Each structure stands twice: as C-alpha cells, then as structure tokens.
C-alpha cells in the first residue's frame, strides 16, 4: 500500500486518483502527525511525502519514521514545490528519503518511480524470505547434527552395556562348567540370554530406523484377531515383568487387516514404556474400543506422566524428555518407529498424560488398512 501525505486536499485527491487508476492501493494522511499514527498501525511499501506542511514538515516525519521497525522496508519520495535548492534536496535524502520530486509533479515520471520502488520492495521481500528460510534450514541441520551425535554416543553406550554383561556371564559360565556346577551354568545362561535379547531388540530398532529413513519399511498385511494378539502380547510382557498386573476390558471380537508383527511391536513398545516409566506402580490398563471403521488401542499407566508441552515431541526421532532421561535408559526411537508403523497403516498415534498421574499412549487403526503390502 502507498501512503500519500499532503496538507492540500486537492493534491491528495488527484494523486490518489492517478495511482488508484493504475491499480495501486492508496491511503492518505493530511498532516505529518496523522501520517506517523498510520505508519505505526499499517505497513506501507512507499510513502509520498509533501515537504511543506504546517506542524511537522516532511523531513521531520521521515526522520521519525526511520526509527520505526515497521517501516524499515518502506521507501519515501519527497514532493516539494518550494525547496528546490540543493541543500533541501540533500536534507531530503539524509532524513531517509529515497527520491525527491519537485512540483508540479510529472505524473508519468512519478508512476515510473512508484513502479520501480514496488519492484525493489518485492525483490527485497523475497530476498528476506529466502534468507530466513536458509537460516531456518541451517539451524534445523545444526540441531539434527547435534541430535545425531548425541544419539551415536547414547547408542554405543546402550549397545555396550548388554555386551559387557554377556562377556561377564560367559566368563562365569566357563568357571561353572569347569566346576560341573549345572544349576549355576543354567542361571548364567539365562542371564546371558536376557542380555542378548536386549542387544537383539536394540539392533532391530536401529535397523528399523534405517529402513524408515530409506523408505524400505515393508508391511506384510493379513487378517488377524486383535483379541488374540493382545492375549499373546500380555503373555510375553507378564513373563518378563511378573510383578505387573495388566488389566484389559472384555474382548471385542474384531479382525483387522494389517501387519500383525508390526502392530505387535507397537503394543509391546507402549507396554514396555508403560512399565519403564512407572516405577513404584504395578498396574497397567489396556483399553480397546471400536470407533466406526477404526479400532482404538490404548495403554494406560500410572507412572511419571509427561508435561503438556513435551507430549507432542515424544513421537519425534531421538526425542527423550530431558528431565527424566537421566533416570531411564533409552534411545528415544521406539515411539518414532511406532508412530511410523501406525501412520503407514493410515492410522494415528497420540498420548494423553498428566505429570505425576500417568499416561495413556494410544493408536487408532483402520480396521481395513488397505491392500498395499509395502
């Protein structure tokens, strides 16, 4: 928009008319004071400013405007009938004007100048946009790089811990075998097996991440019963966490068409997190409902919960809630993988949580997630 500032109504009207005829949006002010008020409120590409005005003159207005952040990109053209001498023209430029036109105004020249200023304004606006996008991209990449470094350090640590345990158990095993102490051999074997299983899960997660990154996460869909899947998952979790009471409502008798192994992976992930992030508690509830053509599966715990501003981020890659990360081991990739699996089935994931009271992680999955098998 262009702002014309002139104390003579006829000048305002005639200039406005010409500019509007050439499809420019025009606003007017009949004094310096009014112009300042308008500049504070609106954004202008160009201000055409009469120099000779009672009260504030054009130069004073320009000087005041140059201090406004809103008008940083605004160009100013001075119009003057009287001050034609060089010193006034110089003053016009030094007080923030970009051009100086003497009256009577040659409308063709003025129009050419206005068009040029508009073009420059558009170009500089685009440049600023590009610059901002570039800066955002640099910042994003820096953060991603930092997260990756952090991840590599945590991942190596997480992989090394079970490996060191396995090495230890192997040594103990050797000694027990020499002694012929079979019960101790069995005990160490079991412990080594648990650590190997941990290692296996970690590596499987890392492989999933790289499959997701390269678009190679494949699905093998078929019909299966949600009730039966939940029965088997609850069995698996009970074996390793007998102290937890996993409650679920009555069965829903529903078959879904999806990748059973991957959906099992998601539920196991929700359940192991529910146990991990709920120290001192011993109950978990599984809520299953059918909503239209979709099935809702929620895993409710009574653990530490998640602050509202962090809830959205927990599904991001490598994200771990900072305040609690030091107390719990993890890589921050389980929920990211789960979210990818559900999204790729056309479903959605989410969490409802109150800090100190617990969380319910859920997914809503279409009963028939389509025939694609990728």
Residue least distant from ligand ADP (Cβ): 330
DSSP 219: -
Min. distance of Cβ 290 from ligand ADP in angstroms?
24
Min. distance of Cβ 358 from ligand ADP in angstroms?
7
Min. distance of Cβ 230 from ligand ADP in angstroms?
18
Rounded-to-integer distance, Cα 347 and Cα 218, Å: 16
> Which spans of this chain sit near ligand ADP (rule: CB under 6 A)?
273-274, 277, 301, 303-304, 306, 314, 319-321, 324-325, 330-336, 359, 361
End-to-end CA distance of the chain: 52
Rounded-to-integer distance, Cα 112 and Cα 147, Å: 52
Q: Name which of 99 and 301 has its Cβ closer to ligand ADP.
A: 301
Question: Can you state the angle between helices 9-21 and 107-179, rounded to 10 degrees?
Answer: 60
Quick one: CA torsion of 342, 364, 283, 249, rounded to 10 degrees?
-130
Min. distance of Cβ 269 from ligand ADP in angstroms?
6
Residue 351's SS3 state is strand
Cβ(352)–Cβ(360) below 8 Å: yes
Rounded-to-integer distance, Cα 58 and Cα 92, Å: 8
Q: Name which of 217 and 274 has its Cβ closer to ligand ADP.
A: 274
Of 78, 126, 125, 138, nearest in space to 103 by CA = 78
Q: Name which of 204 and 325 has its Cβ closer to ligand ADP.
A: 325
Q: Name which of 74 and 359 has its Cβ closer to ligand ADP.
A: 359
Residue 248's SS3 state is strand
Min. distance of Cβ 25 from ligand ADP in angstroms?
50
Q: Name which of 68 and 328 has its Cβ closer to ligand ADP.
A: 328
Q: Name which of 28 and 359 has its Cβ closer to ligand ADP.
A: 359
Min. distance of Cβ 333 from ligand ADP in angstroms?
6
């Amino acid at each position: 928009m262009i702002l014309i500032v002139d104390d003579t109504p006829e000048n305002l009207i005639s200039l406005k008319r010409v500019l509007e005829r050439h499809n420019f949006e025009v606003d007017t002010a009949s004094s310096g004071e009014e112009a300042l008020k308008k500049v504070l409120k609106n954004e202008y590409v160009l201000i055409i400013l009469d120099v000779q005005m009672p009260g504030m003159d054009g130069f004073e207005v320009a000087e005041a405007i140059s201090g406004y952040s809103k008008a940083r990109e605004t160009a100013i053209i001075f119009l003057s009938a009287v001050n034609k001498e060089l010193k006034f023209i110089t003053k016009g430029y030094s007080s923030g004007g970009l051009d100086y036109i003497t009256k009577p105004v040659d409308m063709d020249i003025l129009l050419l100048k206005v068009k040029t200023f508009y073009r420059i304004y558009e170009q500089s606006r685009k440049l600023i946009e590009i610059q901002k996008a570039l800066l955002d991209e640099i910042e994003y990449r820096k953060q991603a790089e930092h997260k990756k470094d952090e991840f590599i350090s945590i991942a190596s640590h997480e992989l090394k811990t079970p490996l060191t345990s396995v090495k230890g158990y192997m040594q103990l095993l050797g000694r027990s075998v020499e002694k012929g102490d079979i019960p101790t051999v069995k005990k160490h074997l079991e412990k080594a097996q648990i650590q190997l299983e941990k290692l296996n899960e970690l590596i499987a997660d890392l492989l999933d991440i790289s499959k997701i990154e390269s678009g190679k996460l494949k699905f093998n869909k078929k019909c299966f019963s949600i009730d039966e899947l939940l029965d088997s998952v609850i069995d698996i979790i009970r074996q390793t966490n007998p102290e937890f009471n996993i409650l679920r409502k009555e069965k829903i008798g529903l078959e879904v068409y999806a990748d059973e192994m991957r959906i099992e992976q998601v539920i196991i992930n929700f359940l192991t997190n529910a146990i991990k992030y709920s120290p001192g508690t011993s109950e978990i509830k599984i809520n299953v409902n059918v909503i239209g053509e979709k099935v809702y599966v929620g895993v409710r715990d009574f653990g530490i919960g998640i602050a509202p501003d962090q809830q959205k981020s927990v599904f991001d890659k490598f994200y771990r809630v900072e305040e609690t990360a030091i107390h719990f081991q993890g890589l921050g990739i389980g929920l990211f993988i789960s979210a990818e699996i559900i999204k790729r089935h056309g479903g959605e994931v989410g969490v409802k949580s109150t800090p100190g009271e617990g969380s319910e992680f859920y997914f809503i999955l279409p009963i028939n997630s389509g025939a694609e098998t990728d």
